[in-house]
Amino acid sequence: MRAFLCMLLLAVTLVLGERACAAVPRDCRQAILGIADGWDSSHVTLSLVEKRGNAWVRVLGPIPGRLGKNGLVWGLGLHRNPGGATIKAEGDGRSPAGVFRLGGLWVTNRQPVKHDRRIREVRVGPADLWVSDINTPNLYNRWVRLDHPASTAWEKREQMRQTDYAHSIKLLICHNTAETKGRPVPGAGSSIFFHIWRRDGGSPTAGCTSMAEANLRALIARLDPDLHPVYVLLPRQEYVRLRSNWQLP
């Protein structure tokens, strides 16, 4: 009898442990799913999926996209990283893998971006910065709007891009942000967005996720804050391994 109770307790512990590892929030019913062939791949296949009852249904995609030039590495998001895992670092040329909330839009594109009006849109101007300087920990990986156009060398270095078409539509991926971690970790990676790809997909990114403009616009237009959307980005092997425990789409 004692042996049976011990086995029962072990089974319950394992089940609870799996639930504790769930990376997708219970209220999430919409997700951008990105699957790469491996950790060192800069190519990704994207889909927008929505939960209907207990089943996830693809509503957009598959969409080809590009990742960091050096592939992927574990990021800081809603998930729990494996013990001893290498974590995203500033300037490593890798896209953060894991499960992440989505933030607002930062736009310079002249054509309006159709989106749910509850998703914040910032029209980027010369006073807008996104800080990647690890020596300013209180500002790191944060949007800062100055009361004047960027003028000092530091301000211009941290200034959001004004004339780069690939960055004219940006959707924030909440890696290492205040929305996810309370306070960004300096040096753990900053300024991670969805944006328009370069050379029709011929170029990788510095760590963001990029795609054709039409696909990016279609994806943004479909996002519904009531469905609590997230971004799931993983190499295929990790996705297969973690899908059940993390309750992934």
CA-to-CA distance for 141 and 184, rounded, in angstroms?
A: 6
Tokens of 22: 């769930």
SS3 152: coil
Percent of the chain with pLDDT over 90: 86
pLDDT surpasses 70 at 181: no
Across 228-237, average pLDDT: 98
- pLDDT at position 14 is 36
Give 73-126 pLDDT, tens digit per residue: 999 999 999 999 999 999 999 999 999 999 999 999 999 999 999 999 999 999
Separation CA 217–CA 165 (nearest Å)? 14
DSSP letters for 22-85: --S-TT--EEEEEEESSTT--EEEEEEEEEETTEEEEEEEEEEEE-BTTBEEE-SSSS-PPTT-
240 half-sphere exposure, CB direction, 13 A CA radius = 6
Q: Between these two residues, 49 and 183, which has the higher pLDDT value?
A: 49
Distance between CA atoms of residues 219 and 32, nearest Å: 9
Residue 139 has pLDDT above 60, yes or no: yes
What pLDDT sits at residue 16?
A: 36
- Position 21 scores a pLDDT of 62
Beta pairing partners, 193: 172
Q: Give residue 243's pLDDT.
A: 93
Mean pLDDT for 181-192 is 91
User: Residue 23: what pLDDT?
Assistant: 86
The domain limits of the chain are 2-125+163-242
Q: What is the pTM of this model?
A: 0.90
Number of helices and strands in the chain (H, E): 5, 12
Q: Is the pLDDT of residue 135 over 70?
A: yes
Average pLDDT over the chain reads 91
Q: Does residue 36 have a pLDDT over 60?
A: yes
Fold of 2-125+163-242: L,D-transpeptidase catalytic domain-like (2.40.440)
H/E stretch holding 233? strand 230-235
Task: Tell me which of 34-48, 116-130, 169-183 is least confident.
Answer: 169-183
- Mean pLDDT value of segment 145-171: 97
Count Cβ atoms below 10 Å from residue 46 Cβ, excluding itself. 22
> Average pLDDT for residues 33-47, to the nearest whole number?
98
Token output for 66: 């590009």
Q: Kindly give the residue spans of alpha helices, DSSP state H, lying in the chain.
A: 2-20, 153-158, 178-181, 213-222, 236-242
With cut-offs at 50, 70 and 90, classify the pLDDT of residue 247: confident
Poorest-confidence range of 5-19, 54-68, 169-183? 5-19
